[in-house]
Structure 1
Amino acid sequence: MDPTTPIMLPTVAHNTAPDSEPSQFILPDLINDCHYPLRKNPHCYAVSCASDQWLIDVARLAEHELRGYIEMDAGRFAAFLYPDADAFHLQVCCDFINWIFIIDDWMEGRCRRSTGSTRILYFLRYAIPSILILEQLGAKMCKSFFSRFRETASLGCTEWFIHGSELFFAGAAKQAGDLCQGTDSGIKPCFALIEFVAGIDLPDEVMSHPVVKALEDATNDHVACNDDILSYNKEQSRGDEHWENIVAVLMHDRGLDLHSAMDHAGQMCKDAIQHFEFNCTILPSWGEDVDRQVAIYIEGLQNWMIGSLHWHFVSARYFGKDRHAVKLDRIVKLLPKKHL
């Protein structure tokens, strides 16, 4: 197999689902399978407070929505993902993460609001502040963080960020495809933030190289798959009609029971790491200065894999008050399904 080919959904058959659902399940050992060092940005607390205030001032959400996003702890998330950023760059990243979660929730229809995605992309591409753009709440938030992003981002970094955002909106609009294939993931624009916080500017020949693309795809696969695993309980309790969680897909399409599907998805995360490591060994050289920047970028991708994984057990978004116990024993009690 071509080592730069993205990991595909396994086709191996397993045990079929039992007649009755289990009351609990055991998570794969995701943390021990991901060996990269976890670091936290020293500006975490100050930036978290500032970004929370930004949500209050700019997002103007209803109180119960606002509380949910603050408890999500995007500040800790950004601090894990970008541990070497200064306070200014870290807050731009944190504000973006808050925004992308809100936009993702809205596009899934849970809040029944328009994102104004066309206007958002128009602003990102042309940076033209119009009254129509400012009428859309999502676009107001976008203008707020993107104007700060443009203060220091290179032209190449800006272009990659916009391109990643276009992919996100295109995938989310289709509402189709496997999350582990990266078709509607909001992760890709976040990779441009690795360049942004480090002040580097990787040439197009590097960013378009098949091995670099394979490293990004492997990171995307790992982050998306572990997110599906760790968000499964919350999502299954909602009983969504259009549900693209990889665990649910494996159960439905491959006839797996919950435990087998969890194990299978966990193996996909391990395969993504193996795929990443292999491509690191075949990375070409572009000269001393560019290679130094590439090494920073690769470390940033590693921070994304380990940081996003640990954050799921820090944020109350996924396991609530049980998150610390779940991290230790990996036992998750199935939530009852809500009647829509």
Structure 2
Amino acid sequence: MNASIFSELYCPFPSQINKYVDVLEDNALEWVLRFKLLADESSYHRFRKSKFFLLSAGAFPECEFEELTVVNDWVTWLFIWDDQCDMSDLGKKPELVEFFHNRFLAILKGAELTSNDIPISYALGNIRQRILQKGTKKWFDYFVNAVENYFDGCILEATNRAQGIVPNVDIYTKIHMLSGAMESSMEFIEFCNHLIIPDFVRANDIVRTLTNMTNKIVCWCNDIFSASREMASGDVHNLVLVLHYQQGLSLEEAMKRAVEMHNQEVQAMINLESSLPSFGKELDTELNKYISGLHSWISGNLDWSFRSGRYQNVEKLELLKL
């Protein structure tokens, strides 16, 4: 597949970077080493090349340092666990994935950690503790619900792998909007910017649609960059590969079609924003900051994808100590 096609991805939103980007990397490395989240030296080098801190710094350009470290550790936690689900034997064992997810949810909901828990569970407990020091209980409930949706998506993917199912585009997109964990990651727009978005604004059809469109755009962008990686690992959960297998397109044609779908969704999002209603001066100010946060996720993710070495790694992973 021609890598030059990446430059055809449409993103009219400005690129920004958080002022704490230079110190975030060391902070992130200290955190993963403290909780023993890297299985071996290969995992260590893979982590350094992935540069997850650039994603967090680009997606949350206005976030203060303490909140930024929380969201960066959450993003890091997601990628480390996601690799276990996507690129190791665990990803074909939906019952085992569900077992771990049930324990993770219990920890997020306040269960005490025990000597039987694994390092990644302790890391999750640390994230929960720090979130609750800064975020409201109501916002945290939204976050936990979004994490539960992510876990559901991972189980659906594991079930497909176990049964050898290649989903169609519509079903795949719905699954990936769960398993991509963007719902939980976008929740941090409120957390990092100290916003309070009322329930009736969240429930507004246009606001909800714009959030879902951002989810889809970021997931499809990641698929376009990671197609070779997923193909090498034998995973079909990728928009390019689903188009290839289900619609009989060549890989190059499937890549071009995926880029077209991404770009059309970005333009549709821009068009829809002009239809946003007014909720009053104060709420409009909050909502504008939220919409800017959606834009930052799209541009920050694209910028990170060009600079990260994550999608150049195709080797099968060793499991963490589970």
Per the TM superposition, whether the score is higher than 0.5 is yes
Tell me which residue corresponds to 2:294: 301
Tell me which residue corresponds to 1:154: 136
The answer to whether the Cα contact below 8 Å between 1:45 and 1:75 also exists between their aligned partners in 2 is no
Tell me which residue corresponds to 1:187: 182
CA deviation vs aligned residue, 1:75-125 (integer Å, no higher than 9, x gap)? 11110010111110111011001100011111225174966211111222x
Tell me which residue corresponds to 2:271: 278
d(CA) in 1 for partners of 2:152, 2:288:
30
Structure with the bigger percentage of helix: 2
d(CA) in 2 for partners of 1:159, 1:169:
15
Selected match of 1:163 from 141, 145, 153: 145
Tell me which residue corresponds to 2:81: 103
The answer to whether the Cα contact below 8 Å between 2:6 and 2:225 also exists between their aligned partners in 1 is no
Deviation at 1:285, TM superposition (A): 1.6
d(CA) in 2 for partners of 1:187, 1:59:
25
Deviation at 1:267, TM superposition (A): 0.8
d(CA) in 2 for partners of 1:46, 1:179:
37
| Farther-moved stretch of structure 1 (90-99 vs 53-62) | 53-62
Matched, 1:41 2:34: no
Matched, 1:118 2:111: no
Runs of at least 5 residues in structure 1 that lack an aligned partner in the other structure: 1-23, 321-334
Deviation at 1:280, TM superposition (A): 0.8
d(CA) in 1 for partners of 2:129, 2:89:
26
Tell me which residue corresponds to 1:57: 34
d(CA) in 2 for partners of 1:81, 1:192:
12
The letter of the residue matching 1:135 is: D
Tell me which residue corresponds to 1:252: 245
Name the Cα RMSD after superposition: 2.2
The letter of the residue matching 2:135 is: A
CA deviation vs aligned residue, 1:269-314 (integer Å, no higher than 9, x gap)? 1121122112211112221111111111100000011110110111
* TM superposition score normalised by structure 2: 0.86
Deviation at 1:196, TM superposition (A): 0.5
Q: Determine helix, strand or coil for the equivalent of 2:2.
A: strand
CA deviation vs aligned residue, 1:304-329 (integer Å, no higher than 9, x gap)? 11110110111111247xxxxxxxxx
Deviation at 1:163, TM superposition (A): 1.3
CA deviation vs aligned residue, 1:214-256 (integer Å, no higher than 9, x gap)? 101111111111111100112212233xx11111111111111
Tell me which residue corresponds to 2:319: none
Percent identical pairs in the alignment equals: 24
The answer to whether the Cα contact below 8 Å between 1:41 and 1:82 also exists between their aligned partners in 2 is yes
d(CA) in 1 for partners of 2:281, 2:68:
27
Q: Determine helix, strand or coil for the equivalent of 1:36.
A: coil
